Amino acid sequence: MASKLRGIKLKSRKTTEGMHSVKMPAPKTVTIPMSMHIGKPVTPIVKVGSEVKVGTLIAEDTNNLSSPVYSSVSGKVTKLTDVTISNGNVVQMVVIESDGEMTIDENIKKPEINSKEDLVTAIKNSGMVGLGGAGFPTYAKFTSDKPVETLIINGAECEPYITSDTATMVEKSDDIKTAIETIVKYFNIKEVVLGIEKGSDEAQKKMEEVASAIQGMKVKVLPPIYPQGGEKVLIYHTTGKVVPTGSLPIDVGCVVINCSTMAGIGNFIKTGMPLVERCITVDGASVKEPKIIVAPIGTQLKDVFEFCGGFNEEPFSVLYGGPMMGVAVPDLTAPVLKQTNAILALTEKETAVPKETNCIRCGACVTNCPFGITPPAITKAYKNKDAEAAIKAGAELCMLCGCCSYNCPANRPLVQTNKLAKELVREFKMKEANK
Amino acid sequence: MENKLHISVSPHIHSKRSTQKIMLDVLIALLPATIAGVVIFGITSLAVVAVCVGVAVLSEFLFNVIVKKQQTISDLSAIVTGLLLALNLPANVPLWQAAVGSLFAIIIVKCIFGGIGRNVVNPAITARVFMLVAFSSMTKAAFPLDSTAGATPLALLAEDKNAVSLQDLLLGNVGGAIGETCAVALLIGGIYLLVKKVITWHIPVAFIATTFIFTLAVHEFDFMLALSLVLSGGLILGAFFMATDYVTSPTTPLGKLIFGIGAGLITVLIREWGIYPEGVSFAILIMNILNPYIDSLTARKMFGGAKK
């Protein structure tokens, strides 16, 4: 393997490191969005007044890279409402009033898996999406005709603050093991690599135990450098394979799945209980008692923070996910999503309030980019609305990890412009395809 | 509905590196050389520094006011330019000429092109070259207060290779511009910049090493003479503080090496065969102009086979 990709050293800020997860009691109401995956939103099959239980299907998947949605509490549907979410899209929400009982749906039963097809159906029915934050429906990674040579499990929790994957590896190692065994069996996979950052000793030990019981599996300990858990970065550092721009991991024989997603799949295989709750790191200097919690999907953030002792001081910003790639939420009625791995309430001191100045051509953005992109070239292409130049400058390759913006002394909005440039390229390609 | 939360695009944390901090580090790094200059050449050099810095800051301030641009003097880059220009001038330069040079650096070279980061060539270097052409006083170097010598070390060494002692060169007890003579002070500043990661080693090392090797070859491998010539003139100041200017130098290590080697070659060509005794400023200026080409030829290769 050639040299390692570049990355940056970040202060870990993991206050909750080494903690065990605590289960949050059922909130009074949950608000469940119909779009917690990258594809088209799903349509609810419940009506106002419908009785639901934990695990009751409330929206079926529609095949367009979507994923079914299940009720996370037992109770009654009180409202179907449209809400504008952080990306500007309007999404339907199912509001369920909990009866506090958390009664499990009696139809929940262990799935019968006898073939590859059964397994893919099971993964689809589990409602699993990429729990690392991407929200890519997991089953869709197994629908390619190309053979899976290597299954890579992403345990490299490289973002500051976040500890939920590590906690899941410690607490749910049996579920992860079941998932690996089943997938390896039906897909006839010869090699399994779990990538984990150095320093998560307990999780590493647990995963090495799992690896010793599975033939062809190994644990690869990686230096704690951001963005170690980026999909292409992880593939390169665990297997040495390079995913070309515009290709998928499966094109080089790899499937990458987050360790929490694996635990969820394992749980579904064992019990038939779909994805209804999430293990989440709640942290940030505003939070009185940082915790790792297990919360029902749809729990409003205000209830989450209340469970964590409330605020020391009013947060300046609240994020879904880590500080490098997370999404800022507009208010605390926002719900816990399937792909929420952390909820951070940051003080003004913790977070950056960048004042933009001219680029001084210091080259920090280029030097720190894991992929060797020149972000200002993308900026220039975007400002000229030149999609072809943006493609040439690497707009599609950019994974929005934020290393450029993080290091920019002039506080240029590089990631923001890269995002816009990606959109420009996407539109351009769609137009080209329709020609 | 409460809606006081701040919304911004990721990343939500920052390295706390800023243009202002970088410029402050450069100023700190220039402090030893400035102090050495004042000690060696007397209080008049302090006046030159004050005029250059003062005019630089004032002209940038007024330019921004007149063209209704956001004020930029707080980024400290105008102070850096003013100080660098002063350190490149002889202590006996008429103060009005220093003021004109400083005005030229800020207005003509920097502000008209769009301010910090937009200049094509290094403002301090270009202003020095402009003054060299415009004012005859620039060709007459100043001399240390207690010195009896009548020429700069580069001129003296051309006559007699033992004319200047290595100790005088290291301590700066020779004729020349205010900030260029004391090699020790400049090296302390240069090491500070390297330690603070403001600059990388590539340009200074390539620049100085190339000058040394080329000089050695020209002078029949007279090691001591080559060493003396490297320590003479504006090479150390130029290599650490002027050639490393982010705006006008390449971003990749390979590009930086090419830039440094090119500057070293041109410096020796001018020193040995040109009509001026010193070539560092011209060398950096020429490499500044070539910089965009070096940059595009040495761009980092992208991961995942973006086709060349």
Which residues of chain A neighbour B199 with C-beta distances below 8 Å? none
Tell me which residues of chain B, numbers 47 to 76, contact chain A at a CB-CB cutoff of 8 Å. 72, 75
Tell me what pLDDT residue B166 has: 86
| pLDDT tens figures, A33-79 | 998 998 888 999 999 999 999 999 999 988 778 999 999 999 999 99
Which residues of chain A neighbour B75 with C-beta distances below 8 Å? 357
Cα four-point dihedral sign B204, B206, B207, B210: positive
Query: Using CA atoms, how far apart are residues A377 and A397, in angstroms rounded to an integer?
Result: 13
Write the DSSP string, A397-423.
T-----HHHHH-TT---HHHHHHHHHH
Query: Using CA atoms, how far apart are residues A92 and B133, in angstroms rounded to an integer?
Result: 72
Query: Using CA atoms, how far apart are residues A373 and A365, in angstroms rounded to an integer?
Result: 8
Q: What are the CA-CA distances from residue A249 to residues A37, A191, B273 (Å)? A: 19, 15, 59
Which residues of chain A neighbour B256 with C-beta distances below 8 Å? none
- Which residue's entry shows tokens 């206050």? A15
What would the two tokens of residue B184 be?
């020790």
CB contact (8 A) between residue B306 and residue A392? yes
User: A83, A313, A357: which to substitute to probe chain B, counting the most B Cβ within 10 Å?
Assistant: A357
Q: What is the CATH number of domain A116-271?
A: 3.40.50.11540
CB contact (8 A) between residue A332 and residue B115? no
Of B34, B45, B44, B30, nearest in space to B77 by CA: B30
Model ipTM value? 0.89
Tell me what pLDDT residue A69 has: 96
Which residues of chain B neighbour A232 with C-beta distances below 8 Å? 303-304
Across the interface, which of B4, B75, B305 has its CB nearest the CB of A242?
Answer: B305
Which residues of chain A neighbour B22 with C-beta distances below 8 Å? 360, 362, 409
Which residues of chain A neighbour B306 with C-beta distances below 8 Å? 245, 392, 394, 397
CB contact (8 A) between residue A242 and residue B303? yes
Which residues of chain A neighbour B7 with C-beta distances below 8 Å? 317, 328, 330
Burial class (CB in 10 A: 0-12, 13-18, 19+), A106: exposed
Query: Using CA atoms, how far apart are residues B53 and B86, in angstroms rounded to an integer?
Result: 8
Between A and B, how many residue pairs show a Cβ–Cβ distance under 8 A? 153
CB contact (8 A) between residue A331 and residue B252? no
* Cβ(A368)–Cβ(A404) below 8 Å: yes
Query: Using CA atoms, how far apart are residues A289 and A256, in angstroms rounded to an integer?
Result: 33
| Cβ-based neighbours of B142, under 8 Å, separated by 6 or more | B41, B45, B90, B91, B92, B93, B175, B176, B177, B178
A19 secondary structure, DSSP code: P
User: B1, B10, B203: which to substitute to probe chain A, counting the most A Cβ within 10 Å?
Assistant: B10
Which part of chain A is CATH 3.40.50.11540? 116-271
| Cβ-based neighbours of A83, under 8 Å, separated by 6 or more | A31, A33, A90, A91, A92, A93
- Which residue's entry shows tokens 């004729």? B175
What residue of A is the nearest CA neighbor of B306? Answer: A245
Which residues of chain B are modeled with pLDDT < 50? 1, 306-308
| Cβ-based neighbours of B217, under 8 Å, separated by 6 or more | none
* SS3 letters across A346-386: ECCCCCCCCCCCCCCCCCHHHHHCCCCCCHHHHHHHHHCCC
* Cβ(A365)–Cβ(B11) below 8 Å: no
CB contact (8 A) between residue B304 and residue A245? yes
CB of B115 less than 8 A from some CB of A: yes
B223: left (phi over 0), alpha (psi -120 to 50) or beta: alpha
Tell me what pLDDT residue A39 has: 86
Which residues of chain B neighbour A331 with C-beta distances below 8 Å? 1-3, 5
| pLDDT tens figures, A361-399 | 999 999 999 999 999 999 999 999 999 999 999 999 999
Residue ranges of E strands in A85-216: 90-98, 150-155, 191-197
| pLDDT tens figures, A246-297 | 899 999 999 999 999 999 999 999 999 999 999 999 999 999 999 999 999 9
* Cβ(A266)–Cβ(A61) below 8 Å: no
Tell me what pLDDT residue B148 has: 54
B67 secondary structure, DSSP code: T
What residue of B is the nearest CA neighbor of A345? Answer: B5
* Cβ(A123)–Cβ(A265) below 8 Å: yes
Of A127, A136, A114, nearest in space to A275 by CA: A127
Q: What are the CA-CA distances from residue A40 to residues A116, A121, A137, B8, B228 (Å)? A: 25, 19, 11, 25, 73
Tell me which residues of chain B, numbers 231 to 270, contact chain A at a CB-CB cutoff of 8 Å. 246-247, 251-252
Q: How many CA atoms within 13 Å lie on the side-chain side of B45?
A: 29
User: B3, B5, B254: which to substitute to probe chain A, counting the most A Cβ within 10 Å?
Assistant: B5
What is the mean pLDDT of the segment spanning A213-221?
95
Query: Using CA atoms, how far apart are residues B33 and B39, in angstroms rounded to an integer?
Result: 10
Tell me what pLDDT residue B307 has: 42
B162 secondary structure, DSSP code: T
CB contact (8 A) between residue B5 and residue A372? no
Range name among A82-91, A131-140, B117-126, B247-256 with the lowest pLDDT average: A82-91
3-state secondary structure of B197: coil
SS3 content of chain A, % helix, strand, coil (to 5): 30, 20, 50
Query: Using CA atoms, how far apart are residues A252 and A244, in angstroms rounded to an integer?
Result: 9
| Cβ-based neighbours of A96, under 8 Å, separated by 6 or more | A29, A30, A32, A52, A71, A72, A73, A75, A76, A77, A78, A298
Question: What average pLDDT is seen over chain A?
Answer: 93
| pLDDT tens figures, A185-202 | 999 999 999 999 999 999
Of A198, A202, A203, A240, nearest in space to A221 by CA: A198
| pLDDT tens figures, A287-331 | 999 999 999 999 999 999 999 999 999 999 999 999 999 999 988
Spacing of C-alpha B111 from chain mean position: 18
Query: Using CA atoms, how far apart are residues A122 and A348, in angstroms rounded to an integer?
Result: 44
Tell me which residues of chain A, numbers 299 to 338, contact chain B at a CB-CB cutoff of 8 Å. 314-319, 323-333
What is the mean pLDDT of the segment spanning A147-166?
96
Tell me what pLDDT residue B110 has: 96
Which residues of chain A neighbour B246 with C-beta distances below 8 Å? 360-363
What residue of A is the nearest CA neighbor of B12? Answer: A323
Distance in angstroms between the alpha carbons of the first and the last residue of chain B: 52
